[in-house]
Amino acid sequence: MSTPTIIIELPEALRPLADGQSSVEVTAATVAEALDALGQIHPQARLRILTRGGELRPHVHLFVRATDIRAEQGLATALHDGDTLLVVPSVAGG
């Protein structure tokens, strides 16, 4: 079985750290692997999503198949071919 090809959709704030790209295609079986693959291409974008210790930053939400990965297996959430990993930063306002 081959490793799934997925798309990571980046928010506007991270696009300057990814050569202006709104999405990046990677092959990965889990969310953690997808973010590692992103880090190989755009290391600064990965650092805005994960801490240096590899934990998801509290102000960042990741969605796969319309579900927050925190409601699934976190970074170990499995990916399927054609999935989109949506990166959504928390927004504060008042």
Report pLDDT digits (tens) over 42-77: 999 999 999 989 999 999 999 999 999 999 999 999
Spatial separation of the C-alpha atoms in residues 9 and 34, rounded to whole Å: 11
pLDDT at 90: 82
Spatial separation of the C-alpha atoms in residues 39 and 30, rounded to whole Å: 14
